Structure 1
Amino acid sequence: MVLNLQSNIQLFHNYLYQVGYAKKTQHQLKSMILEFVSHQNITCFTEVNQHHIKNFYCYLQTRPLRRRDGSLSPSTIRQFVFALKTFFEWMERSGQIKYNPVSGIKFIRKSNKRTRHPLSATEINQLFSAAENLKERALLHLFYSCGLRRSEAMLLNTRDIDFTEGLLYVRKGKGAKRRVIPLTKNVIGDFEEYFITTRSKQKYKDRLADDAFMLTYAGRRMGCNSYYRQFKKILGNSGIEKQEISLHHLRHSISTHLLHAGMPMELVRDFLGHSELSSTLIYAKADKAQIRSI
């Protein structure tokens, strides 16, 4: 049975939901496939070939932004590529196409990103010393000690931290990946003290914040902006003079520090939730000896 385009795309959206992708990602990937279909005038997915994929990829290099001036960032273009790969791999696995048009294509990666340098151990200590309360220490632990992404911290619930076993569960990581992060005695101690003395006494304002591990002072689940503002406050009190330090710097920093402490690259990959070692190599600053050992 041949399904029409809209039915295929809706089934793909249902698949993303079933395997655990975040709602924002579900919508984003679906929209990107719709844009591909529209731009390439696709009438049937069985007729899509590498020519369509390559043409669309070339178009993305100059495709203007819709809400402001400028063109797509390299990371957004990579997200389009991810959407195409995920969609056609799903189509192939589900038997709707016999040939995956994306397979075998090598996409040229361009990046205009400035290099993100990890913080030193001294600078990390400065941040923790600048934390004024248990909530701020817990925040630093989430992004440094646990290496979480912002989206993962936003979704973190109290039930995701096992205080007895010293484990933190990431149930919906990037690409719907799940992982378990072991916690040191220092980290689990700070988390537990924060939960008992601060979090358990806070009143939440809506159902979505009921089980959230981190709440705003207004009693709502901590979002990206809330985490960012809280971190900037800590950073401002730390005396660190580097410019444009973000929460993501903490994730880069812990991965680099773990490598330099002797943790095998494969374990750092699992800690970060990466699928490929190549991502970890780009992400963390490994020394030459560590790269040769892979």
Structure 2
Amino acid sequence: MEDYITRFKSYLHQSGYSVGTQRMLPGCVRDFLAYAGCKAVIKVTPQIIGLFYEWLHVRPLKRKGGALSGMMIRHYVYALKVFFSWLEESGELLYNPMSGLRLGKVERGNREALSVAVVKELFSGARSVRERVMLHLFYSCGLRRSEAEQLNVRDVQVRHRLLYVRSGKGASRRVIPLTGKVAAELGVYLEQYRKASGVEQRAFMLNRVGKRMSGESYSRLLKALVKRESAWTGISPHYLRHSIATHLLQGGMPLEYVRDFLGHRHLEATQLYAKVAPGQLALL
């Protein structure tokens, strides 16, 4: 079975999946294959996957007490979907055991989108150009953390008010239009911070030592900003992305447009943000 894992890792890398996804999905598949005990993937049936799914809900954590979170269980399901789709597309399976398989819905957390007022307060509380730009990348542009990490200077076209995502999830690409205000603030960062630093780096966002901002660095920068505003806790880059998606839908933007803005492949993923109360669009 390790041969499958090795080739699956290679497929994820060649397809442009993020580094984190390349690490996580093979581990989930390895756990499934160990549970299934099948010597050949052709023997995997929908029934085996269903039993594995039920087992995930009661499986104890390896390093501490408790069970898997709903998010982690969804990661396992996603890993199996990608894995078996790859085997089917490569001709190793005539039938995808995930096709038509209905698994019970995993409860999601009660996290709601930030209100427009809270988002505006976050922007007001930013003390540096870097903090405001960071908020714009995740909220105003709706980037994933991995997309912000891989963003280069050439991807931000201030004059044309466009931001190019060249390495989105699943190797997808998209173009994000910028409002005049957002383009102006990204331009200020380029002029006053990037050029003034004198650092020759392709990366758009740099850390304090002039290196490309990592995903962890983005999270720490946001955490420091949020910590100063004691009214909120637990706000992550993805939380900001979730919020702008919700606000766009509340503002009347068609679901298909929001899907393209976020870089989702399927409307079902975007519809998760559609179950919100009416509100207004934040024009930041």
| TM-score for both structures, normalised by structure 1 | 0.86
- Structure 1 pair 98–247 and aligned structure 2 pair: CA distance change class (3 A): closer
Identify the match of residue 7 of structure 2 among 11, 20, 23: 11
Deviation digits for residues 170-205 of structure 1, max 9, x if unmatched? 22223333221111111111111101110233366x
Alignment of 1:96-135 (within 5 A): 96-111=92-107, 113=109, 115-135=110-130
| Alignment map for 1:36-185 (pairs within 5 Å) | 36-111=32-107, 113=109, 115-185=110-180
Q: 1:267 aligns with which of 246, 254, 257?
A: 257
User: Residues 242 and 22 from structure 1, CA distance in 2 versus in 1: closer, same or farther, beyond 3 angstroms?
Assistant: closer
Q: Is the 8 A contact 2:227 2:233 kept in 1?
A: no
- Deviation, 1:89, is 1.2
Matched, 1:252 2:242: yes
Q: Is the 8 A contact 1:158 1:211 kept in 2?
A: yes
**CA deviation profile, 1:1-31 (whole Å, cap 9, x unmatched):** xxxx333332222221111112221222122
Please state whether the residue corresponding to 2:272 is helix, strand or coil: helix
Kindly indicate whether the alpha-carbon contact (under 8 Å) linking 1:161 and 1:167 is maintained by their aligned counterparts in 2: yes
Whole-angstrom distance in 1 between the partners of 2:46 and 2:243: 39
User: Which stretch shifts more, 83-92 or 62-71?
Assistant: 62-71
Q: 1:285 to 1:197 in 2, by over 3 A?
A: farther
The one of 222, 232, 251 aligned to 1:231: 222
Distance 2:9 2:32 in 1: 15
CA displacement at 1:245 relative to structure 2:
3.2
- Identity over aligned pairs, percent: 45
**Secondary structure at 1:62 match in 2:** coil
**Matched AA of 1:274:** H
CA deviation map 1:67-123 (0-9, x unaligned): 22222111111111111111111111111111111112111122251x222223332
For the 8 Å contact 2:16–2:169, the answer to whether it is kept is: no
Structure 2, gaps ≥5 residues long: 279-284
Q: Please, which moves more after superposition, 136-145 or 269-278?
A: 269-278
RMSD: 2.3
Give yes or no for contact 1:74–1:109 (8 Å, CA) kept in 2.
Answer: no
The letter for the 1-side match of 2:225 is: I
Gaps of 5+ in 1: 289-294
Q: How far does residue 127 in structure 1 lie from its aligned partner after superposition?
A: 1.9
- The answer to whether the 8 Å contact 2:73/2:106 transfers is no
1:211 aligns with 2:202: yes
Could you say which residue in structure 2 is the equivalent of 1:291? none
How many angstroms apart in 2 are the aligned matches of 1:38 and 1:119?
Answer: 41
- Contact preservation (8 Å) 1:163, 1:192: yes
C-alpha distance in 2 between matches for 1:170 and 1:196: 21
Offset from partner CA, 1:241-284 (integer Å, 9 cap, x none): 24433333322222222222221111011111222323223225
Query: 1:46, 1:232 → 2: CA distance?
Result: 46
1:41, CA displacement in angstroms?
Answer: 1.1
Contact kept? 1:215, 1:222, Cα under 8 Å: yes
Shift of 1:138: 0.7
Structure 1 112/177 Cα, relative in aligned 2: closer, same or farther at 3 Å?
same
Alignment correspondent of 1:278: 268
3-state SS, counterpart of residue 168 of structure 1: strand
- Out of 195-204 and 95-104, give the one that drifted further: 195-204
Q: Is the 8 A contact 1:123 1:240 kept in 2?
A: no
Query: Quick one: structure 1 residues 152 and 284, their matched pair in 2 at CA, closer, same or farther if it must change by over 3 Å?
Result: farther
